[in-house]
């Protein structure tokens, strides 16, 4: 099993697109990329810790290749927004791909270049590609939030503008 780590705005919205796919062993919401150890949600949401909200995906690349994860990742985000995603604003909601090995780095860079070359977006692609940082799992109440708090998740997602963007662009 391998790991893939993606920041795509609110981590609640980045779980369901990847779950229940063949070869996906698990998805954990959490934080990566910051400058303090063991951050809490309350700290990260201030935007001052340097962390991103991320999902860490465990996958079997023989069944579900990393390239396919990248394709799915791009289809969940606005890769041109440097200040967050949809109604979630701040540095903790920026988009990023955290690679775990040299192969993932190359594939991530190639996929970002392909996205830029596609002409799909008029603005530049600003999604960051960095080495995987220490991953800190988010608090238990954030795990599988879309299942535990269905109504709140549904309302929040509807207000966010994410689904309209995905429908319009993908």
CB 87 within 8 A of CB 160: yes
145 vs 123: CA distance, rounded Å: 32
Nearest Cα to Cα of residue 146 among 42, 44, 10, 32 = 10
| Beta-bridge partner residues of 26 | 58
Does residue 10 carry a catalytic annotation? yes
Instruction: Determine which one of 5, 7, 8, 10 is catalytic.
Output: 10
User: What is the Cα Rg of the chain in Å?
Assistant: 15
47 vs 114: CA distance, rounded Å: 30
Classify the C-alpha dihedral 27-137-153-158 as positive or negative. negative
Active site residues: 10
């Amino acid at each position: 099993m391998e790991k893939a780590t993606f920041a795509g705005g609110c981590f609640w919205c980045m779980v369901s697109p990847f779950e229940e796919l063949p070869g996906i062993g698990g998805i954990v919401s959490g934080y990566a990329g910051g400058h303090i150890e063991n951050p809490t949600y309350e700290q990260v949401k201030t935007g001052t810790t340097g962390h991103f909200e991320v999902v860490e995906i465990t996958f079997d690349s023989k069944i579900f290749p990393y390239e396919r994860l990248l394709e799915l990742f791009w289809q969940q985000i606005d890769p041109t927004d440097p200040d967050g995603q949809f109604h979630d604003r701040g540095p903790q909601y920026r988009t990023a791909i955290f690679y775990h090995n040299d192969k993932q780095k190359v594939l991530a860079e190639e996929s970002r270049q392909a996205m830029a070359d596609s002409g799909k977006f008029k603005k530049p692609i600003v999604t960051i590609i960095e080495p995987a940082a220490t991953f800190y799992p988010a608090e238990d109440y954030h795990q599988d939030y879309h299942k535990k708090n269905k109504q709140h998740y549904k309302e929040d997602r509807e207000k966010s503008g994410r689904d309209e963007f995905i429908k319009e662009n993908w």
